[in-house]
Copies of this chain bind each other. A is one copy, B any other.
Amino acid sequence: MSKNPEKLQPKLARLNEALESGALEPARRMLNRGLAPVDVAHLLESSPPKERNVLWELIDPELQGDVLQYLGEDVQTEFLYRMDAQQVVSATEGLDVDDLADLLQRLPNTVIQEVLASMEAQERQRLETVLSYPEDTAGGLMNTDALTIRPDITLDVVLRYLRRHERLPEATDTLLVVTRSDKLIGGLPINRLLVSDPSMLVREVMDTDMVTITAMLHETDVASLFEKFDLISAPVVGTDGHLLGRITIDDVVDVIREGAEHRMMSLAGLDEEEDTFAPAWRTSRRRAVWLGINLITAFMAAAVIGMFEGTIQQVTALAVLMPIVASMGGIAGSQALTVLIRGIALGHVSGSNLRWLLNRELIVGALNGVLWAAVVAGIAVLWFKDIALGGIIAAAIVINLLIASLCGTLLPVALKKLKIDPALSGSVILTTVTDVIGFMAFLGLATLLYL
């Protein structure tokens, strides 16, 4: 019982000590024999660039592939690009085909060709099958290590056949039943094999109603199927029903986590694969783009204010209060937007219930608009002793919250239809709308009333 989570921390502390005191040999021993590859990967991802490079150099070349497969895309690419084809070949020996395909997809085509050329024919063919599908489809996610059996043998023969193996492929919960031409016709769950009479035929016991996945299915749909049916593994078939491979739950867990993370990171204009310890220069360049896009929207809001400079000069209280109108709209809109983005991701939102949702959001916008408009108006009147100002800001807040609800609901649906990621671009567009409408309504109404 030694794989206890508590035991990792002291190991890491000792490793840090060794590194800081310059004792590279003990550090090398710990990295290569004291820690699991997944822990080494976590350690690399938690280290600033300089320490990370020192650690990487200390890892034995034949262990580097094991570590590589557990790294995030960003960090993985960083190390892969430093290796030549020969190093890639020796580092990735023994990896599963799906993990190997994931790694290779980050490399230039010439390196992929060299790696492929260095492999045995059968292994190469398997790898080429996986590489022929886009990375975000079932085909790109699958492994080719499925155990297959024929329908017309007895379970006893199956048991003896299994015993001829050293070990079974990981997460094997079902043996796949195929015809002579490799067409998938059913599955024999291991747990059913174990409780059934050994003299029965596979055909009599097998499950013909199992979930099968077509190779071009998008990975998020694969994840939904796994979640829905509590799957541990599922076979992947071509359009003609031929068995191509098998997807296991560990790969699906990554898809699920990355999907949810993607939505959070996108809302701040970030990539979910972003390295926490990316160097300052790379980070600056990536974030500059997002700041630039937001600057354009900020200038649009400024232009609206600029239209009312004369009014502001006469009533400076407007300048004091106008950010409140914009900010309340932004918050209300982003709440509607977030609920819709999640609803779309979960498959809850469809044409038939969108009208209900829009209606609900408009009612929510109106109720909260009236509530907070009253509060803000009260404070504004007390602050500036100006009843008209209270009326103006109340009206502007109600208008902006209604527009925010409308926009927060329809924007993600429209972006989704246009195949634009609503999590990434939704919040920028929404804030532009609520800023522009907020300033326009508040300052426009004031101009009408005061001038």
Q: Which residues of A contact B (CB under 8 A)?
A: 1-5, 16, 36, 38-39, 42, 45-48, 159, 162-163, 165-168, 170-173, 184, 190-192, 194-197, 208-212, 217, 221, 224-230, 232, 249-250, 252-253, 256-257, 259-261, 263-265, 267-270, 274, 276-277, 279-281, 283-284, 287-288, 290-292, 294-295, 297-299, 301-302, 305-306, 309-310, 312-313, 316-324, 326-328, 331-332, 334-335, 337-339, 342-343, 346-350, 352-353, 356-357, 360, 363-364, 367-368, 371-372, 375-376, 379, 383, 435
CB pair A360–B280 under 8 Å, yes or no, is: yes
CA separation between A338 and B269, bound complex, in Å?
10
CA separation between A39 and B347, bound complex, in Å?
12
When all copies of this chain in the complex are counted, the total is 2
What is the predominant secondary structure among interface residues of chain A facing chain B?
A: helix
CB pair B269–A335 under 8 Å, yes or no, is: yes
A39-B228, A312-B316 are known; give 10 further A-B pairs, CB within 8 A.
Answer: A3-B211, A5-B225, A42-B228, A167-B191, A171-B173, A276-B346, A280-B367, A287-B364, A294-B331, A309-B317
Of the candidates B48, B232, B259, B298, which one forms a contact with A328 in the assembled complex, judged by CB atoms under 8 Å apart?
A: B298
Task: List residues of chain B with CB within 8 A of the CB of A375.
Answer: 295
Which 8 pairs from chain A and chain B are nearest by CB?
A260-B260, A319-B319, A264-B264, A280-B363, A268-B338, A230-B250, A48-B356, A276-B343
Task: List residues of chain B with CB within 8 A of the CB of A226.
Answer: 253
Of the candidates B208, B261, B291, which one forms a contact with A372 in the assembled complex, judged by CB atoms under 8 Å apart?
A: B291
CB pair B3–A209 under 8 Å, yes or no, is: yes
Q: How far is the CB of A121 from chain B (nearest CB, A)?
A: 27
CB pair B212–A1 under 8 Å, yes or no, is: yes
Task: List residues of chain B with CB within 8 A of the CB of A305.
Answer: 319-320, 323
Closest residue of chain B to A198, judged by CB?
B163
Task: List residues of chain B with CB within 8 A of the CB of A211.
Answer: 3
Q: How far is the CB of A385 from chain B (nearest CB, A)?
A: 13
25 A-B residue pairings within 8 Å (CB atoms): A1-B212, A16-B352, A39-B228, A48-B353, A166-B195, A226-B253, A232-B232, A264-B267, A265-B338, A268-B337, A269-B331, A276-B343, A276-B349, A277-B353, A288-B368, A290-B335, A291-B331, A297-B327, A301-B324, A302-B324, A309-B317, A309-B319, A309-B320, A312-B312, A313-B313
